[in-house]
Amino acid sequence: MTGLFITFEGGDGSGKSTQASLLAEWLEASGRTVERSREPGGTELGLELREIVLHRRGHIAPRAEALIYAADRAHNIATKVRPAIERGEIVIQDRYLDSSVAYQGAGRVLDPIEVRDISIWATEGFLPHLTILLDLDETIGRERLDAARTKYDRLEAEKSDFHSRVRAGFLALATAEPERFLVLAATDPITSIAADIRARVTGLL
């Protein structure tokens, strides 16, 4: 069996983890081996980098932030994701390089092509077979986060216009690569989003 790399993208509170879990359960029930990962923090090194990039007090320069995400990504792909795909497994991952282009590019206003190129170098050009973008109005995302928790990480704490640029950044990426992206409205019922995802993944199996 050939391996598959499927990533979930979208703003904070868009339901990526819920949908990633539902897809993993469905694939496992059909006999496939599924590996879950996430960025930042899919590996032991990644967990340390996640702590720094999301919770370190004080300013982190935008380019330094971009490089920390890229370092996490390089290690995750080299030590976890690529080996699993080569074994013929399916890797389902929360966030990947599109998050860097949207958050560090559109959000922090770094050059999106340069941000993407850093990740391409970091991963030796490793791209997902499918990227599911759960599109959500940033004000609804914020309400969902407010209901779920009281503490925000460094990115979540950014203002609404930052998150609106991030959303537009994701949508521009999806428009540029329609064959890789499946864009779904994150406000649709969980079960109908899950069904749409299964329909698209079935075509790749």
Binding site for ligand TMP (CB under 6 A): 12, 38-40, 54, 69, 94-95, 99-100, 103-104, 153, 155-156
Least CB distance from residue 88 to ligand TMP, whole Å? 26
Least CB distance from residue 151 to ligand TMP, whole Å? 12
Q: If we measure between CA atoms, which residue out of 121, 76, 112, 116 comes closest to residue 94?
A: 76
Distance between CA 100 and CA 70 in Å, rounded? Answer: 8
Q: What is the DSSP letter of 52?
A: H
- 3 or 40, CB closer to ligand TMP? 40
- 153 or 177, CB closer to ligand TMP? 153
Neighbouring C-alpha atoms within 13 Å toward the C-beta of 35: 22
Least CB distance from residue 12 to ligand TMP, whole Å? 5
- 89 or 94, CB closer to ligand TMP? 94
Least CB distance from residue 10 to ligand TMP, whole Å? 9
Least CB distance from residue 40 to ligand TMP, whole Å? 5
C-alpha angle with apex 117: 111 to 123, nearest 5 degrees? 145
Scan for tokens 């958050």, then name that residue.
103
- Phi, psi of 88, rounded to the nearest 5 degrees: 90, 15
CB contact at 8 A, 106 and 138: no
- Kindly state the tokens that stand for 11: 């703003």
- 94 or 138, CB closer to ligand TMP? 94
- 62 or 88, CB closer to ligand TMP? 62
